[in-house]
Structure 1
Amino acid sequence: MTKPEITLEEVKLHCRIDNDYDDEILIVYAEAALEVCQQHIGKRFEDGLSFTPAIKVGCLMYISLLYENREMIGSDGLKEVPLTIHSLWSTYRDVGVY
């Protein structure tokens, strides 16, 4: 099975970014989103987790969250994963995981 991929073009379209200044960090955010998604669900793509449209949308939303909140500590304090992303990923979550 090939590793799921979220292209830079998809990320920039989702985040409404039309410059090339942040390309490198957006690629890292995409990789991080895939990792966090697998941790949340409790299953890895190489172990049979399907890269569904809902998982992809959740990853894109997570990437935009990281991009918009890229400061170490913001004035709003720490935030949990938004309910929308949680809902998209939790559908695939292994009930036996934490």
Structure 2
Amino acid sequence: MTELISLKEVKAHCRIDDDYEDEDDLLRDYIAASLEVCQKHIGKRFGDDLAFNPALKVGCLMYICMLYENREMVAALTIKEVPLTISHLWSVYRDPGVY
């Protein structure tokens, strides 16, 4: 399978300098996790009747950024859900048989 989300795209979305490479392995893990969670949420695999389109990509980028910025189990700040959430982007493509 071709690379669906590049490290460069993730760094741009998370506003991380290209030169900063200390967390590249972590970001690659976040990319893999976001793609897996997206497919599990929808109930389909990419390529099996599911094209990786811009809405899914934006949702994955948002998910990666959320993981990157909120690495701890506890936050000092109150986090509020933004109106256009990851779930809203992905749920449009969700298989009705997935709970």
Structure 1 counterpart of 2:21, which letter? D
Segments ≥4 residues shifted beyond 6 Å: none
Tell me the secondary structure at the aligned position of residue 21 of structure 2. Answer: coil
Q: Aligned-pair distance for 1:45?
A: 1.1
- Which residue number in structure 2 is paired with residue 5 of structure 1? 4
- Which residue number in structure 2 is paired with residue 91 of structure 1? 92
CA contact 1:42–1:94 (8 Å) conserved in 2: yes
Q: Deviations over 1:11-69 (max 9, x none)?
A: 00000001212111000000000000001101111422110000000000000000001
Q: Aligned-pair distance for 1:95?
A: 1.0
Tell me the secondary structure at the aligned position of residue 60 of structure 2. Answer: helix
The structure where helix makes up a greater share of residues is 1
Distance 2:11 2:35 in 1: 16
Return 5+ residue gaps in structure 1 as ranges.
Answer: none
Number of aligned residue pairs: give it: 96
- Which residue number in structure 2 is paired with residue 32 of structure 1? 33
Return 5+ residue gaps in structure 2 as ranges.
Answer: none
Q: Normalised by the size of structure 2, how large is the TM-score?
A: 0.84
- Which residue number in structure 2 is paired with residue 54 of structure 1? 55
